Amino acid sequence: MSWHNGGSGGGPGPWGPARPSGKRPPPPWGSGLPPEISALFARLARLFGADGGDWGGRFGIIAVAVVVILWLASGLFRVQPDEEGVVLRFGAFTRVVPPGLSYHLPWPIESVLRPAVTRINRIEIGYRAGMPAEGEDRDVVEESLMLTGDENIIDIDFTVFWRIRSAPDYLFNIRHPAGTVKSVAESVMREVIGRTPIQPALTGARGAIEEAVQKAAQAILDDYRSGIEITQVQLQKVDPPPAVIDSFRDVQRANTDAERMRNEAEAYHNDIVPRARGDAARIIAEADGARQAAIAEATGAAQRFQSVLTAYRAAKDITLTRLYIETMEQVLEKGRVTVIDPSVKGIVPLLSLTALAGAKPDLTPGARP
């Protein structure tokens, strides 16, 4: 390659008129390049089959060198703070690069993938969140209807939140990560709901269901070596199917009434049974006290009779006199005694039948009528 005009004469060239010999003049920046650069260009020219003194060949070599430099510089890359760099050499995993500026061999030798490992991804199962303009969520019946442990149908919408835990496993061990997470979460939710009765699922077992689904789904993904971590499972809606929700609410109200009546009966039971037990204990205590009093009284009477019998055997006359006197004391202290002077004459005794009719008979031993 040369810079002459194709003729044998001294026509003008790019650096001025051509010399009679056909050689072009020296470049405008001096008589020539430094010896080291000239030697390097000469070697490159010989490598590419050009004459070392040919400036066209030299510029071609410079262009090639620039291209090579740009090709080598294309291996520079930057990993963002929320990413993790995965370097591939001829398509095979080589290493993991942390966030920051790094270098890999240029394409097609090495390439880099930069998945976001700190971003929390969201998968909706049983529904699809509406766009801001739509405002309402769309229900996906084929995903949301599930069978409970007591053979009832329930409508469940839930959301799974997940992130990348291991970038190489995430990129190379599963083909469709989001679809895999969705299928695993839905399958595990159906299994958990299939073991749970409908009433706990609608009321107090929501937290237990979320925890069970998260643990079981994470175990399956770990078996797959998916490199995915499930951070949370959140139930959005747990209701009966729309076609039977009115009837179900009627059943719920009936169950609520039954529960209220059971609670009232239990409260009445808790009130009446202790009182009855207290009354029974009181009656038993009173009967036991009466028994003890009767026994004591009978024991005392027996002891008194025994003492009287002993005294009677020791002195019969004196004992009989004492018994007569004591009996008369008991009789006379209960009667009405009227003392009349013997000198008074003409007194007619009067028996008050009215007083006797209104008086109650005294059944005390020794009392006179």
pLDDT in tens, 299-357: 998 998 888 888 878 888 887 888 888 888 888 787 776 777 777 777 776 666 655 55
CA gap 70, 331 in Å, rounded: 144
Measuring CA to CA, how many Å separate 129 from each of 65, 102, 136, 231, 362?
55, 39, 7, 20, 98
Q: Summarize pLDDT for 226-280 with one digit per residue, the tens.
A: 899 999 999 988 888 877 777 777 877 888 889 999 999 999 999 999 999 999 9
Is the pLDDT at 4 greater than 50, yes or no?
no
Buried b / exposed e over 11-36, threshold 16 CB at 10 Å, is: eebeeeebeeeeebeeeeeeeeeeee
Number of C-beta neighbours around residue 113 at 10 A: 16
Mean pLDDT of 38-58: 58
Buried b / exposed e over 73-98, threshold 16 CB at 10 Å, is: eebeeebeeebbbbbbeeeeebeebe
Average pLDDT in the chain: 78
Is the pLDDT at 183 greater than 90, yes or no?
yes
Domain ranges in the chain are 31-72, 76-113, 121-239
Is the pLDDT at 284 greater than 90, yes or no?
yes
Mean pLDDT of 13-30: 47
Q: What is the pLDDT of residue 328?
A: 85
Q: What is the pLDDT of residue 43?
A: 65
Which amino acid, residue 159?
T
CA gap 205, 198 in Å, rounded: 10
Q: Summarize pLDDT for 83-106 with one digit per residue, the tens.
A: 788 888 887 788 888 887 777 778
Q: Provide the pLDDT confidence category of residue 5 given band limits of 50, 70 and 90.
A: very low
| pTM exceeds 0.85 | no
* Pairing between β-strand 12-13 and β-strand 16-17 as defined by DSSP bridges: antiparallel
Give the CATH superfamily of 121-239: Band 7 domain (3.30.479.30)
Number of C-beta neighbours around residue 178 at 10 A: 14
Give every CB contact of residue 48 below 8 A, 6+ residues apart in sequence: 57, 60, 61, 64
